[in-house]
Structure 1
Amino acid sequence: MPNGSLSNVATSKTSLTMGPNRLYLVNPAQTAYEPFYLKNRKLTFTMDISQVPCGMNAAMYFTAMNLNSALGYGYCDGQSTCNEFDVTEANIGGQQITAHPCPLATQSNSAETCSSWGCGVNDMSSTSIGPKYTSGIDVTKPFVVTTTFATTDGTDSGTLKSVVQTFTQGSHVATVGTITESSCASLPAAQYGGGFAAMSKGLDEGMVFIFSLWGTANSGDMNWLDGGSSTAKCSALSGLSQVAKFSAFTVAPI
């Protein structure tokens, strides 16, 4: 479901191509948001960010929005009062996976602050992921993103234990990183939020699947993501069309 014009969006049964916009996945009847339950699941999709310059953010993420909101409304995320999990925020210079848990009380609409910065892993410094890389993941070509949401007891009802993400392209496989309760627990409270217990609660309630592409090309607005337009990865390409493509989605038990 779009939040804005559809003039820069193209879809098929297996893919989404979009310019700057924000879209929500709804049920087949187009009557409500489609809930996703990710614990003990592996999410796989193909991503093409070859035309997403530094300064922009091609994001695919989940938030614990109110599933009963009217379509196109009810948006909330980790900057406000909803658990958010960013499966990827990406451009040619960097990619990041981040958990944004809210304190448990926040999920009852209190005024507590969610984890706005979040607990995540960024690969802008990776030597195996970048534009025109021949010995790793070349982000000027499509690659497969695999994200595994493991629980403490290996069941759908268990507490979230870890989230692991890898990129695959041909024979090349790169581990983006692993997020765990222990890796987040040492962070300041503003980043930790409610930790994995809170994120588990959001995942139990079902999350809305959101796609967005936003920002300003080569502006420095996404330095936290890509390191800035003067970095080698960002300056490797120019004249990009500001279009992202996601395709071949699967969600399956681990």
Structure 2
Amino acid sequence: MFRRILVLFSVFSAVVHAQQVSVLAPETHPLLTIYKCTTCGGCQPQTRSVVLDASWRSAHRVTTNEVCLSGNTWNRIVCIDPVLCAKVCAVDSADYAGQYGITTSGNSLRLRYVTHHAEGTNVGSRVFLLESDNKYQKFSLKNREFAFDVDASQLPCGLKSSLSFTEMDADGGSSKFPDNKAGAKFGTGYCDAQCPHEVKWQNGEANLLDWFPTSVDTRAWRGKYGACCTEVNLWEANQHSAAYTAYPCIQKARCDNVIDCGDWHDRYNSFCDKDGCDYNSHRLNDKTLFGSGKAIDTTKKITVITQFITHDNTPTGNLVEIRRIYRQNGIVIQNSRVNIPGVPPHDSLTDGFCSAQKSAFGDRNYFEEMGGLSRVGRVMDDGLVLGMSILDDPERHLLWLDGTFPPDRDSSEPGVVRGTCSLTSGNPTDLEAESPNASVTFSNIRYGDIGSTYPTRSGCGC
């Protein structure tokens, strides 16, 4: 959910020639070191960088300092229609630390929740990993392993950190859509399985048609178009709860109606499985694994390892399992096992687990209808883009992750309780007032052969 700039940016903010290359102020991406690993060759550093999602940026007219977009307000004099707006308006370059609270140091990335600055206030952020200045890094994950360290100790109920992979174009869509000259360099092209309507620039156009605030929060706005694509979220978590989830889509597309977008009551007609198949240990009735002082102590840094298993243990095989391992204080911690009557004691995402969980929780198995893990695996063949974020949730207050959801369901029903947070927690207005300094730090990102990203035997790993 984009809830970014609450106060107008000054018209004198540095601008780039949106949907064009900057000539007035450079877009300087914060550097971030990641590591590529082999089983016995160790982990070798790679210099990369991160770029801010374009939907957090303001925009100005190319030829003047006239505002096109500030916060969630489109200038309707300049932006008469989506195509013209994209042609005459420029997405602004980013002051990452000063305006957005985004900083890097070596292999560490810190995202701050609220950042006050001279031109206003920014809330939350999302960044993508770049391979080069104009290209997102694509990760081929099948028969591979991905690991990272994370410190989520500063995240209260209702505020989440996220590390996810989505089916974005490597260039941000600039080759497909001629009016999008900004591309990956300025963070364009975001999509996910929720078909988000908050993505402000889509297919080289401004998403300004039917642009209005949601009924639950006037600072959360949405437009006519949604950006749908397959998503694998390896980490959605705060101090109290965590989940990893696979979301297949039958196609990557811009949706323009409530049925294809899966809006409101048409959730199960969408291009995408919006529920996904999730592994949340608390929801699966293991309340000892994750939290303050528990087996995985959320007051400390955590190493998160995810393995993508294929049927024949090759990168070209069918994806059949997404396996999770944790490491903390030098100790490897296996994922919890399901403790729900009627569900076999799985400890990873498989089609069998997803089917059994959906049945036990009384949920429609749209995951299977959208193709399940096999569909997710086919999308992985083209590579996925890595995004990291810190976000609140104006519509559902994050209860689907860390509380009781749906809130009107009996908490004794299997799958309803997802965490320890109360029904009154997670209001963004309260969070901004009470926890403005909340932050998440991702670090030591590694990828490579299975078993290569954490010590498994002498001489191997990193």
TM-score computed with the length of structure 1 as normaliser: 0.87
**Aligned 8 A contact 2:242 2:290 in 1:** no
The alignment partner of 2:130 has SS state of coil
User: Taking structure 1 as reference, are residues 184 and 212 closer, same or farther at Cα in structure 2, changes over 3 Å only?
Assistant: same
Letter in 2 for 1:118: G
Match of 1:227 in 2: 403
Match of 1:253 in 2: 449
Cα distance in structure 1, aligned partners of 2:332 and 2:171: 42
The farther-off stretch of 108-117 and 140-149 is 108-117
State the shift of 1:117 in Å.
1.0
State the shift of 1:216 in Å.
5.6
**Aligned 8 A contact 1:181 1:196 in 2:** yes
1:138-217 matches, cutoff 5 A: 138-170=297-329, 171=331, 173-176=333-336, 177-185=347-355, 187=358, 188-192=364-368, 193-215=370-392
**Aligned 8 A contact 1:92 1:234 in 2:** no
Instruction: Specify which of 172, 177, 188 is matched with residue 73 of structure 1.
Output: 188
Match of 1:23 in 2: 127
The alignment partner of 1:205 has SS state of coil
Letter in 1 for 2:402: D
**Aligned 8 A contact 1:185 1:195 in 2:** no
Match of 1:90 in 2: 237
Cα distance in structure 2, aligned partners of 1:87 and 1:232: 18
Cα distance in structure 2, aligned partners of 1:2 and 1:184: 33
Could you list the per-position Cα deviations for residues 213-254 of structure 1 after superposition, in whole angstroms to 9, with x for gaps in the alignment?
10069x9611111116xx98558xx96532001111110111
Cα distance in structure 2, aligned partners of 1:191 and 1:128: 26
Could you list the per-position Cα deviations for residues 114-167 of structure 1 after superposition, in whole angstroms to 9, with x for gaps in the alignment?
01110011123531221133xx11101101101111110000011101011122
Cα distance in structure 1, aligned partners of 2:159 and 2:126: 13
The percent of aligned pairs where both chains have the same amino acid is 30
State the shift of 1:64 in Å.
0.6
Letter in 1 for 2:289: S
The farther-off stretch of 185-194 and 7-16 is 185-194
User: Taking structure 1 as reference, are residues 203 and 233 closer, same or farther at Cα in structure 2, changes over 3 Å only?
Assistant: same
Instruction: Specify which of 118, 127, 130 is matched with residue 288 of structure 2.
Output: 127
The alignment partner of 1:51 has SS state of coil
Could you list the per-position Cα deviations for residues 183-216 of structure 1 after superposition, in whole angstroms to 9, with x for gaps in the alignment?
2245424343221121011110110000011006
User: Taking structure 1 as reference, are residues 211 and 232 closer, same or farther at Cα in structure 2, changes over 3 Å only?
Assistant: closer
Match of 2:273 in 1: 115
2:421 maps to 1:244: no
Instruction: Specify which of 46, 52, 55 is matched with residue 2 of structure 1.
Output: 52
**Aligned 8 A contact 2:229 2:253 in 1:** no
User: Taking structure 1 as reference, are residues 17 and 154 closer, same or farther at Cα in structure 2, changes over 3 Å only?
Assistant: same
The alignment partner of 2:376 has SS state of helix
Letter in 1 for 2:445: F
**Aligned 8 A contact 1:137 1:172 in 2:** no
> Between Structure 1 and Structure 2, how many residues are aligned?
244
Match of 2:137 in 1: 34
TM-score computed with the length of structure 2 as normaliser: 0.49
The alignment partner of 2:317 has SS state of coil
Cα distance in structure 1, aligned partners of 2:420 and 2:146: 27
Cα distance in structure 2, aligned partners of 1:88 and 1:43: 12
Cα distance in structure 1, aligned partners of 2:438 and 2:396: 15
Letter in 1 for 2:52: P
Cα distance in structure 2, aligned partners of 1:201 and 1:191: 15
State the shift of 1:113 in Å.
2.1
The farther-off stretch of 116-125 and 196-205 is 116-125
Runs of 4+ aligned structure 1 residues displaced above 4 Å come to: 108-112, 231-235
**Aligned 8 A contact 2:292 2:299 in 1:** yes
Q: Which has the larger radius of gyration?
A: 2
Cα distance in structure 2, aligned partners of 1:22 and 1:142: 21
In the alignment, structure 1 segments of 5+ residues that lack a partner are none
More strand by share: 1
2:48 maps to 1:48: no
